Amino acid sequence: MKTISQAKAFGGIQGVYSHESEACHCTMTFAVYLPPKAATEKCPILWYLSGLTCTHANVMDKGEYRRLAAELGIIIVCPDTSPRGDGIADEPDNWQMGKGAGFYLDATQAPWSKHYQMYSYITEELPALIADNFPVDMNRQGIFGHSMGGHGAITIALKNPQKFKSCSAFAPIVAPSSADWSAPAFEKYLGADKTSWRQYDTCDLIADGAQFREILVDQGAADGFLDNGLRPWLLQEAVKDKPEIALTLRMQEGYDHSYFFISTFMGDHLRWHAERLYK
């Protein structure tokens, strides 16, 4: 692991690091915020997954999480959204495919399958690296994210309920298999057989029996992607007859899809996770 930068913030350390990924076969970069409490003891870990076109830097620069994470004693880890580098498959003119658009799945179709193994990277390789290098309590993990990252956070929690104590999302893509801005990417990554897509689709996972105790979702009512990409009402419908999944969906009037929206409700989400991580 290589240290790219470190800076003191609210008594803790905001760092950026890189390593050679075996899952993605390239150099991957990620950010970690260590609260002051981490200097003397292991702390809970909260994973933040970013959205389309983003890197680790978007939430690090604009998410406004450090002050409260320092107070709550939570480590924040912000991975990248896809493999990066020369020779990695990409569609430079398509922001919904390739670099910046890994969708937190393991691609099975060439040429994407060589590098785009983001599900394995987020659930296996990066956690092992974090556990070896930072003072984290891996028995107290939460996960959240925005848009494509909200999709990733909820699907990963549904598939790994024993690993995570908490899950939330900002404006998640809840049914990517049928959304205009994600279905084409799913076909390229996973092939034409849509049965293989279900394992990475929140609504399909729930229909197939996946469970998670509680999910918090904030959605901007003025989000321009609401109708053709996000469609939170489909998640409401999916859990309607599932009392084992407690969904809190909050439609926030006047808010869009930007980090102005995310930073406004970041504190609510951090407190939501802290209550469950420290329970």
Give yes or no for a cis peptide into 36 (omega within 30° of 0).
no
% of residues, the chain, pLDDT over 70: 100
pLDDT digits (tens, 9 = 90+) for 250-274: 999 999 999 999 999 999 999 999 9
What integer pLDDT is reported at residue 173 of this predicted model?
98
What integer pLDDT is reported at residue 129 of this predicted model?
98
137 is catalytic: no
Indicate if the pLDDT at residue 161 is higher than 90. Answer: yes
What integer pLDDT is reported at residue 270 of this predicted model?
98
What integer pLDDT is reported at residue 18 of this predicted model?
98
User: For the chain, how many structural domains are there in total?
Assistant: 1
> How far is Cα of residue 149 from the mean position of the Cα atoms in its chain?
4
Catalytic-labelled residue, pool 56, 146, 257, 273:
257
> How far is Cα of residue 68 from the mean position of the Cα atoms in its chain?
19
**What tokens does 247 get?**
């969904």
**What tokens does 140 get?**
């107290």
E strand or H helix that includes residue 220: strand 214-220
Indicate if the pLDDT at residue 279 is higher than 90. Answer: no
What integer pLDDT is reported at residue 13 of this predicted model?
98
What integer pLDDT is reported at residue 181 of this predicted model?
85
Q: Spell out a b/e string for 78-107, using b for 16 or more CB atoms within 10 Å of the CB, else e.
A: bbbbbbbeeebbbeeeeebbbbbbbbbbbb
Closest by CA position to 45, among listed 55, 58, 30? 30
**The domain spanning residue 189 has which CATH number?**
3.40.50.1820
What integer pLDDT is reported at residue 70 of this predicted model?
98
Q: List, in sequence order, every residue forming a beta bridge with 150; answer none if it has no partner.
A: none
pLDDT digits (tens, 9 = 90+) for 16-25: 999 999 999 9
Closest by CA position to 201, among listed 179, 184, 218? 179
80 is catalytic: no
- The three-class DSSP label of residue 2 is strand
Q: How many angstroms separate the CA atoms of 103 and 90, rounded?
A: 14
Catalytic-labelled residue, pool 80, 90, 201, 223:
223
Structural domain that includes position 177: 2-277
Backbone angles phi, psi at 172, to 5 degrees: -75, 150
268 is catalytic: no
pLDDT digits (tens, 9 = 90+) for 175-223: 999 998 899 999 999 999 999 999 999 999 999 999 999 999 999 999 9
Integer CA distances (angstroms), 39 to 13, 100, 126, 276, in order: 10, 33, 21, 22
Taking residue 210's Cβ as centre, other Cβ atoms within 10 Å add up to 20
Q: Mean pLDDT across the chain, nearest whole number?
A: 97
pLDDT digits (tens, 9 = 90+) for 39-97: 999 999 999 999 999 999 999 999 999 999 999 999 999 999 999 999 999 999 999 99
Catalytic-labelled residue, pool 21, 50, 147, 168:
147
E strand or H helix that includes residue 133: helix 126-133
